[in-house]
A and B are shown apart, each in its own frame.
Chain A
Amino acid sequence: MSIVTVILSRAFKAFVTLLAIAVLNFCLLHAAPGDPAVVLAGEAGAADEQMIEQLRERFGLDQPFHVQLGKYVGSVLTLDLGYSFRQGAPVAQLIAERLPATLLLTLTAFVISLVLGIAFGVAASARVGKASDSLLTTLALLFYATPLYWAALMAVLIFSVWLGWLPGFGYETVGAGYTGLARAFDIAKHLVLPALTLGLFFMAVYMRMTRASMLEVSQLDFVKTAKAKGLSGPAIRRRHILRNAILPVVTLAGLQAGQLVGGAVLTETVFAWPGIGRLMFESLAARDYNTILGVFLVSAAMVILFNIVTDIVYRLVDPRIGAKA
């Protein structure tokens, strides 16, 4: 199966999944207690009678269920995610404005957690049973048990409030008027704490996986073959164990991407990072369901994209898959 057909079939699957999520959203709106129009308009008093009437008409709430469903899904397919009465703007526009910040944050956190996780995992497995291994695994266990948002808060407290090393709030220094490189540097400084605290938990996950996988692979027969060839320990780890051990970690990382995107809601909330997670948090208090569901759909789309990318990477690394199918 060529890479093109793989991408095509994955894209098709992604489309079906997104369609299903749109249907799920529709069902949720209808399952919510109360009149969907009222639900959509929000309870915060943003909607008057006339607006609710307009909504009823727009969604055809007086029409049969399947017609309503069709209308809803149709509008989602045309990227019409509805209107946020709280923010006074179309949801799609709100999300589009905030998406780059979230992408920057999650991708940075993903890369940091994967690279560091694998590196520490390899290091721990090479020193299995020794003090440094115990230290690394204990730390991983601790990070694994730490709530994301709490780690973020504590980081703000320590590095921003007490030590004053790094900004603990926002995306860039407001009103500083930086441009070009200076601006990039400013954003990078703001990015450090959010990306690290978001990546910490996942780093722990990948480290534990990598360590376990390395140890498991090192028991396999071909490692003994490599030893019998006269290869040195480091060469065996690098050439034989690592490559085989990393494949399952990459697969898992792809699957975990969903949790990373979910975690961004918490991190962005704590750091006032102007991404879609923060948007979701703001919408929660306002009961702005259109925006909440919109963010939900877009974050699912991000996960699907992550998954497709890891799937393709996997296929490029493992020679067995392409031939088997």
Chain B
Amino acid sequence: MWKRFSSNIGAMLGVVLLLAVIAVAIFAPIIFSHTPWQMVQRPFLTPFTMDGLPLGTDTLGRDVASQLAYGARVSLLVGLVSTLVALLIGVPLGALAGFYGNWVDEGAMRFTEFFQTIPNFALAIVLVAIFEPTLASITIAIAIVSWPPVARLVRAEVMSVRKREFVDAARLAGLSRPRILLTQVLPNTVSPIIVMASLMVATAILLESSLSFLGLGDPNAMSWGYMIGAARTVIRSAWWLSFFPGIAIVLTVLALNLIGEGLNDALNPHLSRKGKA
């Protein structure tokens, strides 16, 4: 498995990129002596013109590089936690729907469909706007709009595994239904869930940045989307203020997507039925 993953150039590139972003996020306070909120120089300092401020300063004279580093913390944290919360909602719901079928399935799927119909970004905006933007409300809002695809995936996987004969065999062994679901069915759905989760972190990072861009970020946390949003009106005079955070988002999201694809290729090598031929 690891061998297949590590031989995938794109995936390894993704890992390297992501590790770099994680390192920057972790060591931000060590790398920069000032917080991203501190005014350190005159405003609108162009990049690459002063030592110690490689990416210049923003409209208030704050260090752009430091803002980027601290922004990585917010992006990764929100991306990771909101994905975990979405999994906590989607996996049990999808598993129960797929395994028990009938009215459980009917109910769970109507519920999921409803959430899938609602334009998810619009719902996220509404949720954050109403519950005041904090890291917690943003994370929850992203989780709330992200779980339906998880539920659908898990349901579909569980339904397909449930039909396999080894599940019948487990029933004949006298195992209880919850135990069959937990020990026989769910372990066989883990690979696609992992793949989807890695892609969801990427989507969550995009969502978080979009919310902050609209001014719905946590006012106490520096984030990439906020940086771009704040620099939007001065794009004619200071393009770098929106350019660098954008690149940071693209690279992070790209890294996660590459990893997700690599995992997909490594975990689902066109269904391990090759031995049958």
- Asked if A and B form a direct contact in the complex, defined as CB atoms under 8 angstroms apart, the reply is yes
The reply to whether the CB of B214 lies closer than 8 angstroms to some CB of chain A is: yes
Q: Mask for B197-213, Cβ within 8 A of A = 1, else 0?
A: 00000100010011001
A234-254 vs B, CB cutoff 8 Å, 1 = contact: the mask equals 000000000000000000000
In the complex, the answer to whether B130 meets A28 with C-beta atoms within 8 Å is yes
A-side contacts of B250, CB under 8 Å? 142, 145-147, 150
Is residue A75 within 8 Å, beta carbon to beta carbon, of the partner chain?
no
Interface centre among A29, A32, A262 (most CB of B within 10 A): A262
- From B116, B216, B235, B236, A284 is in contact (CB under 8 Å) with B216
Specify which chain B residues have a CB less than 8 angstroms from the CB of A33 in the assembled complex. Answer: 131-132
Verify if A182 is at the interface (C-beta below 8 Å from B): no
Q: B88 contacts the other chain (Cβ, under 8 Å)? A: no
Residues of A within 8 A of B215 (CB): 284-285
The yes or no answer to B117 lying at the interface (CB within 8 A) is yes
Query: Which of A21, A149, A270, A289 is B130 in contact with, Cβ under 8 Å?
Result: A289
The CA of A272 and the CA of B243, in the complex, are separated in Å by 20
A274-321 with Cβ < 8 A to chain B:
280-281, 284-285, 287, 289, 292-293, 295-296, 299-300, 302-304, 307
Indicate whether A262 sits within 8 Å of B119 (C-beta atoms), given known contacts A147-B246, A153-B235, A157-B239.
yes
Chain B residues near A149 (CB, 8 Å)?
Answer: 210, 213, 228
From 1 to 60 in chain A, residues with beta carbon under 8 angstroms from any chain B beta carbon are 17, 20-21, 28-29, 31-33
Asked if B214 contacts A266 (CB within 8 A), the reply is yes
A32 and B130 contact, CB distance less than 8 A: yes
Which residue from chain B places its CB closest to the CB of A303 in the assembled complex? Answer: B119
Q: Is A199 an interface residue (CB 8 A)?
A: no
- Determine if A141 and B119 form an interchain contact, defined as CB atoms under 8 angstroms apart: no
**Residue numbers in B under 8 Å from A111 (CB-CB):** none
B246 touches A284 (CB 8 A): no
Q: Tell me the minimal C-beta distance from A35 to chain B in angstroms.
A: 14
Residues of A within 8 A of B114 (CB): 17, 20
Please, how many angstroms separate the alpha-carbon atoms of A141 and B116 in the complex?
24
Give the bracket for the number of chain B residues in contact with chain A.
Answer: 35 or more
When distances are taken between beta carbons in the complex, the residues of chain A under 8 Å from B246 are: 146-147, 150, 153-154
Query: Which interface residue of B120, B123, B215 has the most chain A CB atoms within 10 A?
Result: B123
Could you say which of B120, B125, B254 contacts A292, with CB atoms under 8 Å apart?
B125
Q: How far is the CB of A252 from chain B (nearest CB, A)?
A: 11
Residues of B within 8 A of A261 (CB): 119, 122
| Interface hits, A150-164 → B, CB 8 Å | 150, 153-154, 156-157, 161
Chain B nearest Cβ from A107, distance in angstroms: 15
On chain A, the residues within 8 Å of B251 by CB distance are 145
Q: A262-B122, A296-B122, A299-B119 are in contact. Are A154 and B127 (CB under 8 A)?
A: no
B243/A154 in contact, CB under 8 A: yes
Chain A residues in 8 Å Cβ range of B123: 296
Given the interface pairs A154-B246, A157-B235, A292-B125, the reply to whether A31 lies near B213 with Cβ below 8 Å is no
- Taking CB atoms, residues of chain B closer than 8 Å to A300 are 117-119, 122
* Docked complex Cα distance between A157 and B242 (Å): 10
Is there an interface contact between A21 and B118, defined as CB atoms closer than 8 Å? yes
| Residue B126 CB within 8 A of the other chain | yes
Whether the pair A161, B254 counts as a contact (CB closer than 8 A) is: no
Interface of A is mostly: helix
**How far apart are B67's CB and chain A's nearest CB, in angstroms?**
16
CA distance A149 to B126 in the complex (A): 18
Beta-carbon nearest neighbor of A149 in chain B: B213
**Chain B residue at minimal CB-CB distance from A30:** B130
Residue B57 at the chain A interface, CB threshold 8 Å: no
Interface residue? B258 (CB, 8 A): yes
CB-CB < 8 A to B121: which residues of A?
A: 259, 262-263, 265-266
Interface residues of A in 195-227 (CB under 8 A from B): none
In the complex formed, the residue of B with least CB distance to A153 is B242
Query: B253 to chain A: which residues have CB within 8 Å?
Result: 144-147
CB of B129 closer than 8 Å to a CB of A: yes
A263 and chain B: residue at smallest CB distance: B121
Q: Given A259-B121, A284-B216, A303-B119, A161–B126 Cβ distance below 8 Å? A: no
Which residues of B sit under 8 angstroms from A269, Cβ to Cβ? 214
How distant is the Cα of A255 from the Cα of B250 in the complex, in angstroms? 24
B202 contacts which chain A residues (CB < 8 A)?
A: 145
How many angstroms between the C-alpha atoms of A141 and B256 in the bound complex? Answer: 11
Q: Say yes or no: A304 contacts B122, CB within 8 Å.
A: no
Nearest A residue to B126, CB-CB:
A296
Please, how many angstroms separate the alpha-carbon atoms of A302 and B232 in the complex?
Answer: 29
Residues facing A in B187-231 (CB within 8 A) are 202, 206, 209-210, 213-216, 225, 228
Complex Cα spacing A292 to B206, Å: 21
Give the CA-CA distance A69 to B37 in the complex, in Å.
44
Question: Considering only CB atoms, which chain A residue lies closest to B113 in the complex?
Answer: A17
A-contacting residues of B (Cβ < 8 Å)?
114, 116-127, 129-132, 202, 206, 209-210, 213-216, 225, 228, 232, 235-236, 239, 242-243, 246, 249-251, 253-254, 257-258
Interface CB pairs A-B, < 8 A, 5 = A144-B253, A147-B228, A154-B242, A292-B125, A303-B118
| Complex A-B, nearest 5 residue pairs according to Cβ-Cβ distance, in ascending order | A262-B121, A150-B246, A145-B253, A145-B254, A258-B119
